[in-house]
């Protein structure tokens, strides 16, 4: 097993170009609930926004349209391949008010002076998410807004029950735990925001269920793309993972089965003014 300090990142899901395509599907699933959340939290034209752990930049593109023409967006992520793809996609979409930068949240400094910070599905992968929230508090202008969304995997279910899906989720959650992070961090977000000094903390919950189409494969895909980390952590063999992942995809192909992803806890708050 690789020593944690020898690993460049704690992140368990395959990154790079393939990882970007998984995030495209994830963003498609969460697009409407994220737009609703951003509006509820008060995103407005003219704001300077930061998307922390932006992946392929999908939320940055939405924010760039919402804050245009005078507002701007910076997306930061540790994955240089995804950042490069995001830069190219921003140009293709003719979005001139969005920029991207490679930053390791566990090492680097955050840029400063934002009105609005968004961070989705990232804190669950970090060893010290509380420290990052305190740093984000310092990166916001007084009275600025933070919006956080993250998972609670205990909320996942399928109909009918699938042994393979339940096992896949269990392995994913355990692997993240082995790396010192928490895939069930969602319900803790409001108290973590308060502990980081944020005020007027608010909370919401969404959960997406699928019966057909590509979105139904997101959970099998996530476990599939986490297989290397699961194996590295000694939780399953390559042969076990191949059989498990094949069974998960097969379950998704059944036109009458339902797969509901994790509960997503959303929290938003203001930096002290």
Ligand X SMILES: C[S@@+](CC[C@H](N)C(=O)[O-])C[C@H]1O[C@@H](n2cnc3c(N)ncnc32)[C@H](O)[C@@H]1O
Query: Which C-beta is closer to ligand X: that of 13 or that of 257?
Result: 13
- Told to check if 54 binds ligand X by CB under 6 A, we report yes
Return d(Cα 24, Cα 55) in angstroms, integer.
9
181: contact with ligand X by CB under 6 A: no
CB 204, CB 247: distance < 8 Å: no
CB within 8 Å of 259: residues ≥ 6 apart:
158, 165, 209, 210, 216, 219, 251, 252
Least Cβ distance, residue 159 to ligand X (angstroms): 25
Q: Provide the minimum distance between the beta carbon of 198 and ligand X in the complex, in angstroms, as a whole number.
A: 19
Count residues contacting ligand X (CB under 6 A)?
23
58 binding ligand X? (CB under 6 A): yes
Q: What are residue 98's DSSP bridge partners?
A: 73
What is the smallest separation between the CB atom of 148 and ligand X, expressed in angstroms? Answer: 11
In the complex with ligand X, the residue whose CB is nearer, 26 or 248, is 26
Question: Which region among 3-11, 177-185, 202-210, 264-272 touches ligand X (by CB under 6 A)?
Answer: 3-11
Residue 149: closest CA among 175, 171, 121: 121
Position 84 contacts ligand X (CB under 6 A): no
- Composition of the chain by helix, strand, coil, percent to 5: 45, 20, 30
With beta carbons less than 8 A apart as the criterion, state whether 55 and 79 touch.
yes
Query: DSSP assignment, residue 2?
Result: -
DSSP 8-class letter at 109 = P
Tell whether residue 171 is a contact of ligand X (CB under 6 A): no
Distances (CA, A) of 77 to 143, 157, 272: 25, 30, 26
Site for ligand X in 123-152 (CB under 6 A): 125
Q: Is 18 in the site for ligand X (CB under 6 A)?
A: no
- Residue 182 DSSP label: -
Nearest to 183 by CA among 133, 137, 226, 241: 226
The correct pick among 38, 100, 120, 210 for binding ligand X (CB under 6 A) is 120
Question: Quick one: which segment of 55-63, 87-95, 157-165, 170-178 binds ligand X (CB under 6 A)?
Answer: 55-63
* Near ligand X by CB under 6 A: residue from 47, 53, 133, 188: 53
By CB under 6 A, which span of 39-47, 51-59, 151-159, 193-201 interacts with ligand X? 51-59
Interface with ligand X (CB under 6 A): 9-11, 15, 23, 26-27, 53-55, 58-59, 77-79, 82, 104-106, 120-122, 125
């Amino acid at each position: 097993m690789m020593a944690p300090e020898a690993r460049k990142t704690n992140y368990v899901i395959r990154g790079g170009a393939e990882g970007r395509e998984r995030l495209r599907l994830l963003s498609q699933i969460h697009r409407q609930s994220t737009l609703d959340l951003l509006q509820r939290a008060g995103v407005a034209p003219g704001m300077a926004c930061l998307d922390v752990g932006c992946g392929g930049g999908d939320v940055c593109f939405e924010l760039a349209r919402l804050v245009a023409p005078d507002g701007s967006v910076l997306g930061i992520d540790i994955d240089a391949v995804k950042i490069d793809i995001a830069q190219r996609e921003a140009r293709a979409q003719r979005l001139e008010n969005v920029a991207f930068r490679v930053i390791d949240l566990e090492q680097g400094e955050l840029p400063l002076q934002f009105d609005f910070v968004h961070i989705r599905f990232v804190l669950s992968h970090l060893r010290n998410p509380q420290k990052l929230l305190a740093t984000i508090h310092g990166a916001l202008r007084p009275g600025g807004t933070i919006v956080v969304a993250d998972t609670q995997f205990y909320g996942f279910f399928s109909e009918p029950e699938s042994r393979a899906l339940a096992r896949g989720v269990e392995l994913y959650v355990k692997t993240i735990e082995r790396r010192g992070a928490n895939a069930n961090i969602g319900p803790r977000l409001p108290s973590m925001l308060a502990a980081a000094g944020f005020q007027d903390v608010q909370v919401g919950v969404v959960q997406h269920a699928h019966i057909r189409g590509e979105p139904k494969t997101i959970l099998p895909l996530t476990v599939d793309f986490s297989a290397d980390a699961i194996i590295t952590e000694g939780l399953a063999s390559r042969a076990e993972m191949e059989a498990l992942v094949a069974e998960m995809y097969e379950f998704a192909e059944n036109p009458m089965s339902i797969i509901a992803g994790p509960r997503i806890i959303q929290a938003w708050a203001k930096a002290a003014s």
